[in-house]
Structure 1
Amino acid sequence: MNFGRAADFDIVVIGGGIVGLSTAMQLSQRFPGLAIAVLEKEPMLASHQTGRNSGVIHAGVYYEPGSLKAKFCRDGSTATMQFCKEHGIRFERRGKMLVATSSEELPRMEKLHERAVANGLEVHRISKDELTEREPHIAGLAALFIPASGIVDYGEITRCMGALLIEAGGTIMTDAEASHINEQADGVEITLDTGMLLSARHVVACAGVNADRLARMCGLAKDIAIIPFRGEYFRLGADKDRIVEHLIYPIPEPSLPFLGVHLTPMVGGFVTVGPNAVLAFSRNGYSFGDLDPKDLWEMVRFPGFRRVVADNIRYGLSEMANSLSRRRYLALCRRYCPELELSDLHSHPAGIRAQAVSRDGRLLHDFLIERTARTIHVLNAPSPAATSALPIGRYIADIADAHFGRLQSLN
């Protein structure tokens, strides 16, 4: 097939989450006149990771100085708040308290302080008495206060990006799942699950839990697999809507990529607690009983998955028990909010984290992007990807312009 100027689109972005929409929007703004389309397999944008996360605008305290995570998060926090101001999207700059509840956590808290300073963040040590004064419902020995953290609805941001893309002449196709990608010398053919064929000069895949599958269609991701982890949340009752003023986080375990169960005041006016991190048996396994044989078989046969299970069996079983027992889940919350009772925990939608794992069993902590001649694949976009979506989109647009050969010349 000769694509030539008859190609349906210049660029197709696969994935209607916040990273995909940020990328498509910024490409359309930088290169007006290009035919850009976003494919989303669900009926609406932001249906999975983007629309099911904690809604936190992270400041960047946790991440290795100099890493893409640290840079994107720091830049993204500022950019996200500015984007919200420009487009009338509600957000709140609440600040985050990282609370140490045991003497064993105090040295880790100090290391987080050092890391926050190294990442250029404003950070304050908070004594036990000051913590009690500022957050009377929270118990702890000490805390770190990060003023730059905030809350927002990332689904609303994504839909706004989609509107801006359409305003710039772009296309959004929902209910459009890419089932096959055929890259040729002069373009890319995309087959949808409906049998419809699309052609494009270039493809950018921001497909979340399906990122590895799309990449393998293009000969990439040979030593990487996406392992889904479910994060389960509860919503506190209306009588607890003002139980905290800040975001309340535990001191995380540094060997794990998960931050632990935390209390988050949401822009909707209520408070959530969560998430935990439970291995999911389906890439869209939002409930404990969800199981997809194909997804499970792919995980089990991947050697990196078996290594992760072996190395983290105690932690995994503990998280599974916390998932099955609301009382155990409550105990995680009561470490720093002791007045909570079982009756305070109400059901709230779970989320899925797409965690890239290497063949040797390493959990990949930083962003990972791979390329072929005509495709770019975002293979790992871990938290804080939502916070970092604007600088990530700009970064991918830079790669596209350089790698695909001066996109401006296509206009």
Structure 2
Amino acid sequence: MSTYSFGVVGAGIIGAAVARELTLRHPGAQITVIDKASEVASHQTGHNSGVVHAGLYYQPGSLKARLCRRGVDLLRDYAIAKNVPYEECGKLVVALTAEEESRVRDIYAKATANGVPDVELIGPDRIREIEPNAVGRLALHSPHTAIIDYAAVTRALMDDVTNAGGKLLLDSEVTDISNTGEECTVTVDQSGKVSSHRFDYLIVCAGLQTDRVARLAGGATYPKIVPFLGQYSMLASKHRSILNGLVYPVPDPAYPFLGVHLTKRVDGEMLVGPNAFLSFGRENYKGWGIGIKDSLDVVFSVAFWRFASRNIKAAIHEFGAVISRKKFLAGAAAYAPSLDGAQSTPITRGIRAQAMDKNGQLVDDFVIEQLGRVTALRNAPSPGATSALAIAEHLAQKIDETLSKVTDGVPKSDAH
């Protein structure tokens, strides 16, 4: 039986998956999950469209590519075991122009290099066969792309942790971390009551706040989280069956977001979205007001203004969709013409925790920072949820290697 104590900051799907992985690898260990929200999956995990990505877009050999493919298999098996709805509805990435056709072929090359099963390039007739209401010149078909309820998965993971004796501290904000190299002491403010918790090892999976929490443990200033909002609209009930699966545009390589798409949800609803625009608040899900601290953090960032200067055209386009639902829906109607003039209802937006480096470049791959007895997941945007169980395996392996070095007498600072 293990005598280690582990702390996990963040009760989203990745934090819950890490905590569960540690219970499996270290039976009897003391495991505590800490989150400032009042329930699990309150942030990115509970504010997304529920797509299980197959691994189409990611640079072959990258952490994203490897952990996404491994994560799909783990997630599917876990969902089946826990009776969480999981549907392989399939996905089309559709080109409308000759330029986009070339991009689709590039995505197909990446997908095959990443080992995505059964992907194929299809023409207009096959597009209509798969999705009778969709149009396009060329499309990549990914039949195993799936949909799921990530919040339900997170609750199941956390139940596994607590049933194994782990603790879950909610309404508990981390305000300080003492990272001595021998142990970690985390100061927590739980609804005004301050307490300290000592751990042999700490893992930070704090999503939108991960850069700030990592810096408390001695982490670097960059990459810094810049929040991007993503608005969703739910189509009127008469449009629920317009598609059999998912229809996506071809992403613009100059702007690293996937664009407005049509997404079937496991409850049968059909969503349009998300767009991508700077959020004036890391947790401003309803869109009311401005988060002063978060906004000033962006305004005074030279890196952000470097990024903005390179993306003015894309920002103007995205802003139009932010203020006009008609324009927002028109983007989807280009792929499914019968949606022209469709009615929809806005739902709670999502906010993407996107890491940015000091040069104003959005960081594409997952980023892990090692700080002695602290491991911080500094960047885990999409497909972070898809990859969650694989990320947990990867982080737990790194932790085991660090603990092994410490046990063998290697100085803690050598474990990177």
The answer, yes or no, to whether TM exceeds 0.5 is: yes
Counterpart AA for 1:378: L
- The question of 1:127 aligning with 2:126 is answered no
- The question of 1:188 aligning with 2:184 is answered yes
Give the 3 Å change call, closer, same or farther, for CA 388–305 of structure 1 in structure 2.
same
| Residues 217-228 of structure 1 aligned to structure 2 (within 5 Å) | 217-228=216-227
Q: SS of the residue aligned with 1:361?
A: coil
Partner of 2:355: 356
Q: SS of the residue aligned with 2:337?
A: coil
Counterpart AA for 1:284: E
* More displaced 10-residue stretch of structure 1: 98-107 or 358-367: 98-107
Partner of 2:145: 149
Partner of 2:232: 233
Q: SS of the residue aligned with 1:196?
A: strand
Partner of 1:397: 396
- 1:110 is displaced (CA, Å) by 1.0
Q: Deviations over 1:249-277 (max 9, x none)?
A: 11111222211111111101111111000
**Match 1:163 to one of 154, 159, 163:** 159
Is contact 1:29-1:168 (8 Å) kept? Answer: no
Partner of 1:69: 64
Q: Name stretches of at least 5 consecutive residues in structure 2 with no aligned partner.
A: 409-416
Partner of 1:310: 309
Partner of 1:283: 282
- 1:318 is displaced (CA, Å) by 1.7
Partner of 1:22: 17
Structure 2 CA distance for aligned equivalents of residues 101 and 387 of structure 1: 28
Q: Deviations over 1:115-156 (max 9, x none)?
A: 111111221121101212221211111211111200000000
Counterpart AA for 1:277: A
Structure 2 CA distance for aligned equivalents of residues 42 and 377 of structure 1: 19
Structure 1 CA distance for aligned equivalents of residues 264 and 133 of structure 2: 14
Structure 2 CA distance for aligned equivalents of residues 254 and 73 of structure 1: 20
Partner of 1:332: 331
Partner of 2:26: 31
- 1:341 is displaced (CA, Å) by 4.0
Q: How many pairs does the alignment contain?
A: 403
Q: Deviations over 1:37-94 (max 9, x none)?
A: 0001111100110111110011001000000000011111111111111111111011
TM-score, with structure 1 as normaliser: 0.95
Give the 3 Å change call, closer, same or farther, for CA 408–47 of structure 1 in structure 2.
farther
Partner of 1:85: 80
Counterpart AA for 2:152: E
- 1:218 is displaced (CA, Å) by 1.8
* More displaced 10-residue stretch of structure 1: 131-140 or 375-384: 131-140
Is contact 1:180-1:191 (8 Å) kept? Answer: yes
Counterpart AA for 2:105: E
| Residues 188-267 of structure 1 aligned to structure 2 (within 5 Å) | 188-193=184-189, 194=192, 195-267=194-266
Structure 2 CA distance for aligned equivalents of residues 59 and 299 of structure 1: 32
Counterpart AA for 1:139: V
Q: SS of the residue aligned with 1:89?
A: coil
Counterpart AA for 1:349: T
Structure 1 CA distance for aligned equivalents of residues 297 and 403 of structure 2: 32
Is contact 1:225-1:302 (8 Å) kept? Answer: no
Q: SS of the residue aligned with 2:232?
A: strand
Q: SS of the residue aligned with 1:369?
A: strand
Q: SS of the residue aligned with 2:108?
A: helix
Structure 1 CA distance for aligned equivalents of residues 161 and 405 of structure 2: 20
Structure 2 CA distance for aligned equivalents of residues 344 and 71 of structure 1: 39
Identity of aligned residues (%): 38
Is contact 1:326-1:342 (8 Å) kept? Answer: no
Structure 2 CA distance for aligned equivalents of residues 337 and 245 of structure 1: 12
Is contact 2:255-2:314 (8 Å) kept? Answer: no
**Match 1:12 to one of 7, 11, 16:** 7
Structure 1 CA distance for aligned equivalents of residues 398 and 129 of structure 2: 48
Counterpart AA for 2:252: E
Partner of 1:270: 269
Structure 1 CA distance for aligned equivalents of residues 112 and 129 of structure 2: 25
Q: SS of the residue aligned with 1:352?
A: strand
- 1:408 is displaced (CA, Å) by 10
Q: Deviations over 1:210-268 (max 9, x none)?
A: 11101111221223210000010011111111110021111111222211111111101
Is contact 2:255-2:311 (8 Å) kept? Answer: no
Q: SS of the residue aligned with 2:294?
A: helix
TM-score, with structure 2 as normaliser: 0.93
Is contact 1:31-1:407 (8 Å) kept? Answer: no
Counterpart AA for 2:37: E
Structure 2 CA distance for aligned equivalents of residues 344 and 406 of structure 1: 59
Counterpart AA for 1:344: Q
- 1:184 is displaced (CA, Å) by 2.3
Is contact 2:179-2:218 (8 Å) kept? Answer: no
Structure 2 CA distance for aligned equivalents of residues 210 and 266 of structure 1: 28
- 1:287 is displaced (CA, Å) by 3.5
Structure 1 CA distance for aligned equivalents of residues 344 and 405 of structure 2: 53
Q: Name stretches of at least 5 consecutive residues in structure 1 with no aligned partner.
A: none
- 1:404 is displaced (CA, Å) by 3.0
